[in-house]
Amino acid sequence: MFAPANIPQRFRDAYARSEQGLIRDVMVKGAWVVLFVSAITNGSVLIRGRSLIEADPTWGLALRLPPLVVSILALAMHYGRFPGSSWSMPMLRLISLSAMWSIFGSLVFAYDQGGSAFRMMTELAILSIFCAALVSLRGVRGCVIPLFLPLSTFVVVMLYQGHPPLELLLKLLSFISATVIAVLVTHVLYHRRIAEFLARQKLNEMSTIDSLTGLMNRRAMTERLDSERARYHRLSHSFAVVLLDLDHFKRVNDNFGHQAGDRVLREVANRLKLHTRQQDCVGRWGGEEFLMLLPDTGEQGAMTAAEKLRTALQQHPFEIGDAPPVSQTGSFGIAIYDGRESASRLVARADQALYMAKECGRNRVVVA
């Protein structure tokens, strides 16, 4: 999984997903461009009856066929919905490499036959555009193999054939300057894309994460409840919600101050995370209320889970700084999704059970 070094770990999955979409997009468009350019080039050869490489039909075929075949294959895989997405990047590289092979191969012939400057410029421009697309996906390192490998092969072949290095350099100047411009512009765009991606992720994080505890906030939990309800209707997998309200939490604030209260809330969040499964969702529902969503869980499982959390709070007092640690318990209300009700009705039932737990003396679990 590729992600630039300045993307924090927590955003790397999201970056990989967004990059996959981008790579697929570039691959499909790149394949169409290569097909289109091949059709025009081959068509003009047919109409005008002459080719830069007409002297050698075998080489002509060897240079023109690979990009055509690779592009058709890539488009067939895309439109035929070939499973997975990891093949997009290797396919894009293959398209680029075969196009470079074709272009640089033609250049070798053009060079020897004194091909027209216009023709060379066109092919150099295509090189720069490819380079631009690759740089915009993976930064400058993205074009090392598809661009600099064919270029260095081309230079080595030319030098091997005895062309003077200075003359070669002068002839390549237009290519080098076109590529440098393309690299610079797209390098800036690449960094902008990453900056925009990070800004979007942080905004998204702010709107879904509770800043005090780092848990999901009420909005994000409501969305998860809706998607879990949708999953239930698709797969009939039962799920439970557990609502927790800390007992007499006001006393912590009143006796030790708001900061101590905040520390307790953060530690409660840690313990809830620690004692739930990875697939469970834990969120802060309100001030000192927490909501847990337990997928694939029935009544018995939810009771066991809630009991484990209740013990995890009760078992160890909470550190609050200079003052001695404080005891903090919680009351829990459980509701199992009945298959029909709305998310708010489901939480309301858990709230009623929680109310019963408070009424019965707190520090206990009640099922709706």
- By annotation, the residues acting in catalysis are 288
Residues 256-285: x where in contact with ligand GTP by CB under 6 A, - otherwise, as a string: --x--xx--x--------------------
Do the Cβ atoms of 72 and 34 come closer than 8 Å?
Answer: no
Using DSSP bridges, classify how beta strands 289-295 and 330-336 pair: parallel, antiparallel or unpaired.
unpaired
| Separation CA 173–CA 254 (nearest Å) | 76
Q: What is the DSSP string of 138-192?
A: H-GGGGIIIIIHHHHHHHHHHHHTT--HHHHHHHHHHHHHHHHHHHHHHHHHHHH
Instruction: Match 């068509």 to its residue by tokens.
Output: 43
172/215 with CB nearer ligand GTP: 215
Helix (H, G, I), strand (E, B) or coil at 325: coil
284/349 with CB nearer ligand GTP: 284
Do the Cβ atoms of 55 and 64 come closer than 8 Å?
Answer: no
Give Dmax (Cα) for the chain: 96
Work out which of 253, 270, 314, 352 binds ligand GTP, going by CB under 6 A: 253
Residue 253: CB minimum distance to ligand GTP, A: 5
321 lies in the site for ligand GTP, by CB under 6 A: no
27 lies in the site for ligand GTP, by CB under 6 A: no
Do the Cβ atoms of 99 and 130 come closer than 8 Å?
Answer: yes
Residues 330-359: x where in contact with ligand GTP by CB under 6 A, - otherwise, as a string: ----------------------------x-
Residues 199 to 238 in contact with ligand GTP, rule: CB under 6 A: 212
Instruction: Match 């091949």 to its residue by tokens.
Output: 38
Do the Cβ atoms of 290 and 328 come closer than 8 Å?
Answer: no
200/250 with CB nearer ligand GTP: 250
Distance of CA 332 to the CA centre of its chain: 36
Choices 72-80, 136-144, 247-255, 272-280 (CB under 6 A): range interacting with ligand GTP:
247-255
Residues 284 to 303 in contact with ligand GTP, rule: CB under 6 A: 287-288
265/368 with CB nearer ligand GTP: 265
* Residues forming the site for ligand GTP (CB under 6 A): 212, 245-250, 253, 258, 261-262, 265, 287-288, 358, 362
